[in-house]
């Protein structure tokens, strides 16, 4: 479980996040949702330590990450897998080397075991026989899947996904969402997804945090989101016709 | 001053939370090939012609019959060892390798590859930059030696073929009044230039923010800053080490 406690962050005196608290539960897909520019990605970066919050703390299973020393931070980070918006695959390495990378630098596993684990993860995300392809030779959806394979290869306890289905066609986006949810349940990991895609919200949002202008306005599940009673959330949820028609029913 | 402070802290960050020696060994070898081996042909070509042109132009300026012809190769030798091989090649090196380092790291930054390393608990600056600087320090002096040999070969071939100096005079001039400290001086300069070019270019690339346009700007800034640093340190080293 990840707990965040009163996280605040400003850039050049502009407040981006203000006193955000909440919990991300183990074995569930936890979503951080909100419009573009509302501070979701900044919040995610504060949680994984890419940004230092101005105030507040992040706890990974009761371990205070924000105030941890460098060794403790490195130890916690080794339990983290992250899927970046563009995949963030290393251009100079092929798919196999990309997925194997965390094992190369973080473990002393023998080569045959590493290869076995890499192939298992690639099969798990539905990719086979592309080990020797370079990132530039595969599609956007495949890059995301390779990114997921790399994120889970080291058996992480925590998985973070930053806009996992941005730039993908609706079908591939749903496949990626389903894959993230399946992996979360299968390996019982704490997954946190930042998204503004309502398909993801309705499809995999077991626990949802709605952020509006740097403030947490609502928390709940996808079953409760239609009747939140929060105007800003309603504006966000019912922007498209399909959602509006659902509300009418 | 703020940027200089940031640069010093960046250099300091290369030596904390390092990975295993094996990891750096592999990365450094890869960088040696990329930085050193793949630069040999360019360095050889440029220095050959620099040597050739220096010979012809020195001969053109030595018109007095009182000056022996072997002075041509003596001048070419001194210019090559003291300035052309270490410094002019450093400027070319900054353009080729410096911009490539800054562009590569800048692209990794904007495509979140550096963030991916950090999230994995890896010291990204140390992992990415230390092998580049080490490889640069290892290979650039060798490139300078190659440049020196190619420049003198170019001078010899052009000088003797065009008839401005005889082969015997050229070789005599190369050996005449030779001060072996000049080679030491050239190598000292090459170590300093290699460090400056690789570290400054990496620094510029590593802190790129924005998009493709900013990567281009970072590459240009890397070359500009490296060239200024090379020329400034060239002057300081000459002042410090070449006192008559």
Cβ A84–B23 below 8 Å, yes or no? Answer: no
Whether A194 contacts A180, CB under 8 Å: no
Give the pLDDT confidence of A149-202 residue by residue, as tens digits: 999 898 899 999 998 888 788 888 888 888 899 889 988 999 999 998 888 888
Closest Cα in chain A, distance from residue B5 (Å): 20
User: Which of A75, A82, A104 lies nearest to residue B116, judging by beta carbons?
Assistant: A82
Q: Is B229 helix (H, G, I), strand (E, B) or coil?
A: helix
pLDDT at B161: 93
Cβ B121–A106 below 8 Å, yes or no? Answer: yes
Closest Cα in chain B, distance from residue A101 (Å): 10
pLDDT at B196: 96
Quickly state the pLDDT bin for B200 (edges 50, 70, 90).
very high
- Show residues of chain B in contact with A106, CB under 8 Å: 120-121
Contacts of A117 (CB under 8 A, 6+ apart): A103, A109, A153
Range A80-86 average pLDDT: 90
What sign results for the dihedral spanned by CA atoms A207, A19, A195, A222? positive
* Domain segments of chain B as ranges: 21-241
Would you put residue A87 in left (φ > 0), alpha (ψ -120 to 50) or beta? Answer: left
Long-range contacts, stretch B123-127, CB < 8 angstroms, 24+ apart: B123/B13, B123/B16, B123/B17, B123/B18, B123/B19, B125/B10, B125/B13, B125/B14, B125/B206, B126/B13, B126/B14, B126/B15, B126/B16, B126/B17, B126/B18, B126/B19, B127/A105, B127/B19, B127/B23, B127/B27
Give the pLDDT confidence of B78-128 residue by residue, as tens digits: 999 998 999 999 999 999 999 999 999 999 999 999 999 998 888 899 999
Cβ B119–A48 below 8 Å, yes or no? Answer: yes
Cβ B17–A89 below 8 Å, yes or no? Answer: no
Q: Classify burial at A215, counting beta carbons within 10 Å of its beta carbon; exposed 0-12, middle 13-18, buried 19 or more.
A: middle
Would you put residue B121 in left (φ > 0), alpha (ψ -120 to 50) or beta? Answer: left
Quickly state the pLDDT bin for B50 (edges 50, 70, 90).
very high
Question: Helix/strand/coil (H, E, C) string of A10-30?
Answer: EECCEEEEEEEEEEECCCCEE
How many Cβ atoms are within 10 Å of A71's Cβ, its own excluded?
10
CA closest to B109 among chain A residues: A88
- Residue that is written with structure tokens 């042109």 in the block: B53
Strand partners, A30: A192, A207
């Amino acid at each position: 479980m990840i707990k965040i406690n009163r996280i605040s962050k400003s850039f050049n005196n502009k407040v981006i996040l203000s006193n955000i608290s909440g919990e991300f539960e183990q074995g569930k897909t936890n979503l951080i949702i909100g419009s573009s520019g509302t501070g979701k990605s900044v919040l995610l970066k504060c949680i994984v330590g890419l940004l230092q919050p101005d105030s507040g703390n992040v706890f990974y299973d009761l371990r205070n990450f924000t105030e941890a020393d460098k060794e403790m931070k490195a130890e916690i980070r080794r339990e983290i897998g992250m899927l970046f918006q563009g995949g963030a695959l290393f251009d100079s390495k092929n798919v196999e080397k990309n997925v194997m990378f965390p094992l190369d630098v973080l473990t002393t596993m023998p080569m045959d075991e590493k290869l076995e684990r890499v192939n298992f993860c690639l099969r798990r995300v539905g990719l086979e026989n592309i080990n020797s392809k370079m990132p530039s030779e595969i599609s956007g959806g495949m890059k995301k899947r390779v990114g997921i394979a790399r994120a889970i290869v080291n058996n992480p306890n925590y998985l973070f996904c930053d806009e996992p289905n941005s730039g993908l066609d609706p079908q591939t986006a749903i496949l990626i969402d389903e894959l993230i949810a399946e992996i979360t349940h299968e390996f019982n990991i704490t997954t946190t997804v930042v998204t503004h895609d309502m398909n993801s919200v309705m499809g995999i949002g077991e626990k949802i945090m709605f952020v509006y202008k740097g403030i947490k306005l609502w928390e709940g599940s996808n079953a409760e989101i239609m009747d939140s009673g929060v105007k800003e959330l309603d504006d966000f949820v019912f922007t498209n016709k399909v959602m509006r028609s659902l509300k009418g029913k | 001053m703020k940027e200089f402070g940031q640069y010093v802290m960046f250099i300091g960050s290369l030596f904390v939370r390092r990975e295993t020696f094996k990891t750096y060994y592999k990365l450094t070898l890869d960088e040696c090939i990329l930085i050193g081996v793949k630069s040999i042909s360019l360095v050889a070509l440029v220095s050959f012609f620099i040597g050739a042109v220096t010979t012809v132009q020195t001969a053109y300026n030595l018109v007095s019959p009182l000056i022996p012809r072997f002075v041509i190769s003596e001048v070419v030798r001194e210019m090559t060892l003291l300035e052309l091989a270490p410094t002019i090649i450093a400027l070319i090196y900054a353009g080729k390798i410096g911009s490539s380092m800054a562009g590569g790291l800048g692209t990794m930054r904007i495509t979140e590859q550096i963030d991916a390393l950090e999230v994995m608990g890896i010291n990204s600056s140390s992992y990415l930059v230390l092998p580049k600087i080490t490889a640069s320090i290892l290979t650039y002096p060798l490139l300078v030696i190659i440049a020196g040999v190619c420049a003198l070969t170019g001078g010899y071939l052009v000088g003797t073929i065009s008839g401005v100096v005889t082969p015997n005079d050229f070789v005599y001039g190369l050996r005449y009044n030779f001060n072996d400290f000049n080679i030491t001086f050239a190598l000292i300069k090459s170590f300093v230039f290699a460090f400056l070019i690789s570290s400054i270019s990496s620094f510029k690339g590593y802190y790129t923010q924005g998009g493709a346009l900013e990567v281009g700007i970072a590459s240009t800034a890397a070359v500009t800053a490296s060239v200024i640093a090379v020329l400034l340190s060239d002057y300081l080293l000459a002042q410090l080490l070449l006192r008559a």
